Chains A and B, each alone.
With several copies, the nearest count.
Chain A
Amino acid sequence: MRPASDRERLIATVAELLAGVHHVAVGASSPIPAAGAMLRRAVDAKRGEAPVRISILGSARHNFFTNGSSELFDCAAQGRIDAFFLGGGQIDGQGDINLVGAGDYPRSAPRWPGSFGSGLLYYVVPRVILFREEHSPRVLVEKVDFISAAGASPPSVRRPGGPYALLTSLALFRFDKARRCFVLTGVAPGHDTDEVRDRTGFGFDVAEDLGPIPEPSPEALALIRDRVRGELAETYPQFAETLRDE
């Protein structure tokens, strides 16, 4: 079997992060998170466990909603969505994310599209996975220029949700809610902690059991290359095609 590509490893890592989740929602242009969710479902199905429900915004086949745009947010606020993915033009060490722009608001430069649903979803979905392939001090900053959604809240705020992990092409962190900081738990094969430090603009803790991010199991790899790629083709045809060529 051909060894796992970087993207296949990201997909397998996402699937691990979704262990135990009943309902995961995925944004419209998020093929790797979507693939990770599909792998989770495929693995659970093979093990005879209840399949995770996957809602992909913008997909016809994976759209279970019938109440328009509001339903995703209502559903999340009701506590019916266990996991979601967010990115960010900037992500900082406190878990704050910036989807609006760099520099002084309102005349941001560059200006990014905007905060989308982060202002609610980051607060109510228990397991928000921050996913950004680029790992650089430009993206992973000490302090974001604009807080689209805050990584943590004072005790006066009811907050069932928040950051759970941060996954990049280089590293995997979990978020320590009590201490409001990221903890490095895994490094991509072929890289080391020093490189992660160099390429990260914020300080972070290191887990005692830090190790390389595991390679996908042969079982997972086979599922990615067969069932998951087939399922992806409906919503992300181009992505499914390039995945084949890796």
Chain B
Amino acid sequence: MTEIVSLEELAARIPSGAKLALPADYAGVAMAATWPLIASGARGLHIVCVPTGGLQIDLLIGAGRVQVLETSAVTLGEAGGAPAFVRAVCEGGLELLDATCPAILSGLAAAQKGVPFMPMRGLIGSDLLRVRPDWRVTENPFEPGDEIVAIPAIRPDIALFHAAEADRDGNVWIGRRRELALMAYASATSFVTVERIRDASLLDDEVTAAGVLPALYVGAIAHAPNGAWPYGLWGEYPTDAAEIARYAEMARSEASFSAYLQRFTGTAAFA
């Protein structure tokens, strides 16, 4: 059964050490849940970026919440590199699982299918393969000598994302952002923040049903209007590029990063 809870309660259900799947900038980032998550004090998170990360990841890293980071990239887009990420990498403060987008998506697809791995073309000859001993070069059983990489299933504890709408049964409208469904299938449960909660079931109409992630996969929902801000939400509102640029500027030093965070979390130092 999906529970409808407050943002704080939703964040409080993410324990230290959780393996957390988080979407890319354009896909519905649960920014409003980021502040209470940081305030809750959960540490040692294992973050899986699906398949890249931005502001949310950089905040969690800067606040010292991340132990393991699996990602294909971390960037603030137009605003440049992600300062806390770059700093943590240089200082060796992160267990880094560098990936490539389709490998993360393949690992999640393996979890979706309930199989231990998915084969994937590419990768051979790259240093990604060298630094990821958890990826294996294997032989195509249908063609001797044909080498292909096996990507192990990625099974996060929780997928956390933001979407436009949910109904009271816990169904979530994700539209064509189906990587959110992929994250949810692969994860033990999903926590979703939404712009609106509507009374009528999203499954009652075949047109809206086509864009629904069923409640079956959703553990908790929190109402969070404008909840992707400063990121935008497709079909709802654009990205606040000025705010992201402001963050990029402030995150360049640890002191001003802390000041930025404090504004949203109400508490002092985090690093």
Contact = CB atoms under 8 A, between A and B. Distances in A.
| Chain B interface bracket (under 10, 10 to 19, 20 to 34, 35 or more) | 35 or more
Contacts of B178: 66-68, 70
B86 A29 contact: no
A73 B50 CA distance: 13
| Chain A interface bracket (under 10, 10 to 19, 20 to 34, 35 or more) | 35 or more
Interface in B143-159: 145-148
A77 B114 contact: yes
A114 interface: yes
Contact of A146 (B1, B73, B101, B127): B127
Contacts of A149: 100, 122, 126
Interface stretch (B5-13, B37-45, B210-218, B219-227): B210-218
Most buried by B among A60, A80, A116, A119: A119
Contacts, number: 186
A64 B111 contact: no
Interface in B27-77: 27, 50-52, 71-75, 77
Interface stretch (B88-96, B192-200, B250-258): B88-96
Interface SS of chain B:
mixed
B127 A148 contact: yes
B27 A106 contact: no
A116 B101 contact: yes
B51 A101 contact: no
Nearest to A80: B216
Contacts of A111: 81, 85-86, 89-90
A107 interface: yes
Nearest to B82: A113
A69 interface: yes
A68 B182 contact: yes
A233 B71 CA distance: 31
Given A107-B90, A157-B125, A112 B81 contact: yes
Contacts of B214: 64-66
A140 B146 CA distance: 32
B25 to A, nearest CB: 9
A156 B146 contact: yes
B51 A119 contact: no
B121 A123 contact: yes
A110 interface: yes
A78 B73 contact: no
B121 A77 contact: yes
B206 to A, nearest CB: 9
B120 A120 contact: yes
A100 interface: yes
B182 to A, nearest CB: 6
Contact of A117 (B101, B131, B182): B101
Contact of B122 (A58, A65, A112, A124): A124
A152 B209 CA distance: 38
Given A80-B216, A113-B73, A116-B72, 15 more contacts: A66-B211, A74-B112, A78-B185, A106-B89, A108-B90, A111-B81, A111-B86, A112-B81, A113-B75, A117-B51, A117-B101, A119-B99, A123-B121, A124-B121, A150-B124
Q: 7 shortest A-B CB distances, which residue pairs?
A: A77-B114, A119-B100, A150-B125, A114-B73, A68-B178, A68-B179, A123-B122
Interface of B: 1, 24, 26-27, 50-52, 71-75, 77-78, 81-82, 85-86, 89-92, 96, 98-103, 105, 109, 111-115, 120-128, 131, 145-148, 176-182, 185, 203, 209-217, 234
